[in-house]
Amino acid sequence: MKRINIYFLLILNLFKKITLIFLLFISFQSIAQEDSYTLIKAKTIFDGVQFHTNKVVLIKGNKIIAFDKVTNIKIPKGTKTIHYPNGTLMPGMIEGHSHLLLHPYNETSWNDQVLKESYAERAIRGANHAKKTLMAGFTTVRDLGSEGASYVDVGLKETIEKKVISGPRMIVAGKAIVTTGSYGPKGFAEHVTVPLGAETADGIDDLTRVVRDQIGHGADVIKVYADYRWSPDKKAAPTFTLKELKLIVEVAESSGRKVVAHAASEEGMRRAILAGVSTIEHGDGGTREIFELMKKHNVALCPTLAAGDAIEQYQGWKKGVDSDPARIVKKKKSFQLVLETGVTIVAGGDVGVFPHGDNVRELEMMVQYGMNPLSVLQSVTSVNAKAFGYENSIGQIKNGLLADLIVVDGDPVKNISNLRKISMVIKDGTIFKQ
């Protein structure tokens, strides 16, 4: 019996030593990973504001720790060096208006996606869309509405953060807020209860509760429909009163969150601006007076040029062959007014209306519609980061910011479509594509 006890103690002691060695190994491995260094060289570097030559970027773990001439940086022993002699190194792009849970309407109508696709299907599609977005060089997306899928977007974001799947950093809105009677799906008999693509809320008490409830469910930003196509002639008309919109902003801002507004009508935009929203999405009906008001109140515009362009093509417009439809003519004119008045433009295409991974389509159209290519690059990096409240972590190549970086073949200023030629993607210090 004594001998058995001795053997047991020896085995127990050995097990403790093995466990200790294993824990030390894991600890050393973790320290090694945190202290790993990567030096990136490229022909040119766009830092989110301007271009540089003869500079390099040094990464430690998931942070940028140096951006300077190589002669001014002390390179630690064992640093991994990556060199792109013909490439442009720049911050990971930021998609300003996405719906990862939607897919193009020429595949399945919006109504059928909301009414007939399960949460499971939409989540799986969302995971596929997330990977395509990241591989296209977009390391962050502002996802503005789950469109009938409750808080599946919050779950998708958390799944990416847990590294279960690959995808961009997500800024999520959860369920957009709409007034009773304004949003779809519509066209059903009065005795049929139909799930909506957003959450209804009306009046002071209801709006206060809904905004707080969305925050509690994980929304990073609150999206509200300041107008919708519910006028007698089916054109965009205001939904919430100015007082209601101001309340939404007040409740959201008390938690440190911004409010964005879908708005296409002149009056809907005016109310949203005066209420204090951070960005207006679409803005098709904006006038010079409205855009000047936006500039005065520091409200940015996300024009979503590519979405309207895609929808017109789904409806039969042969781009490049047929003359521009009225919607496109109007959009081009309003975008020119935006450029003339100096409103801050954030880059976002309403991706999901058209394929995920094709995000650069919006940037190409911004150039086609008259925006300077350098300004477009700034918009999709540093301008987006600042407008969304993330300038202290992403959007620039700058000491202390997160290592969200991409390498583009060629010069995107000479040809904005070079942004489709992605050689490398780094998000949060991890290489996802090389």
What's the pLDDT at 5? 54
In this predicted model, what pLDDT tens digit does every residue of 337-389 receive, in sequence order?
Answer: 999 999 999 999 999 999 999 999 999 999 999 999 999 999 999 999 999 99
Stated as kind and residue range, the H or E segment containing 388 is helix 384-388
Question: Given the structure tokens 């062959």, which residue do they identify?
Answer: 321
Q: Give the pLDDT score at 157.
A: 98
User: Backbone phi, then psi, for 15, in 5-degree steps?
Assistant: -60, -40
Give the per-residue pLDDT at 234: 87
Please list the residue range(s) of the chain that carry CATH number 3.20.20.140: 93-394
Q: What is the pLDDT of residue 33?
A: 45
pLDDT at 141: 98
Residues in the chain where the model's pLDDT stays below 50: 1-2, 4, 8-10, 19-33
Could you tell me the two tokens for 26?
């894991």
Tokens of 39: 């030096």
Q: What are phi and psi of 3, to 5 degrees?
A: -65, -40
171 backbone dihedrals φ, ψ, rounded to 5°: -110, 110
The dihedral through the CA atoms of 355, 364, 139, 339 has a sign that is negative
Residues 82 and 38: their CA atoms lie apart, in Å, by 7
Beta-carbon contacts of 279 under 8 Å, excluding residues fewer than 6 positions away, are 96, 258, 260, 261, 299, 300, 301, 302, 346, 387
The pLDDT value recorded for residue 359 is: 98
Whole-number Å distance between alpha carbons of 76 and 36: 9
Is the Cα dihedral 289, 291, 292, 293 positive or negative?
positive
From-to residues of CATH 2.30.40.10 in the chain: 33-91+417-433
Is the domain spanning 93-394 CATH 3.40.50.12160? The answer is: no
278 CB contacts (<8 Å, ≥6 apart)? 258, 259, 260, 299, 300, 387, 388, 389
What pLDDT is stored for residue 28 in this prediction?
37
As a dihedral over the C-alpha atoms of residue 368, residue 96, residue 92, residue 218, rounded to 10 degrees, the angle is -170
* CA–CA dist 59, 217 (Å, integer): 34
Asked if residues 383 and 344 have their Cβ atoms less than 8 Å apart, the reply is: yes
Give the C-alpha distances (Å, rounded to integers) separating 321 from 51, 317, 325, 364, 367: 37, 8, 12, 19, 20
pLDDT in tens, 268-290: 999 999 999 999 999 999 999 99
**Looking at domain 33-91+417-433, what is its CATH homologous superfamily?**
Urease, subunit C, domain 1 (2.30.40.10)
Angle between helices 242-253 and 266-275 in degrees, nearest 10? 40
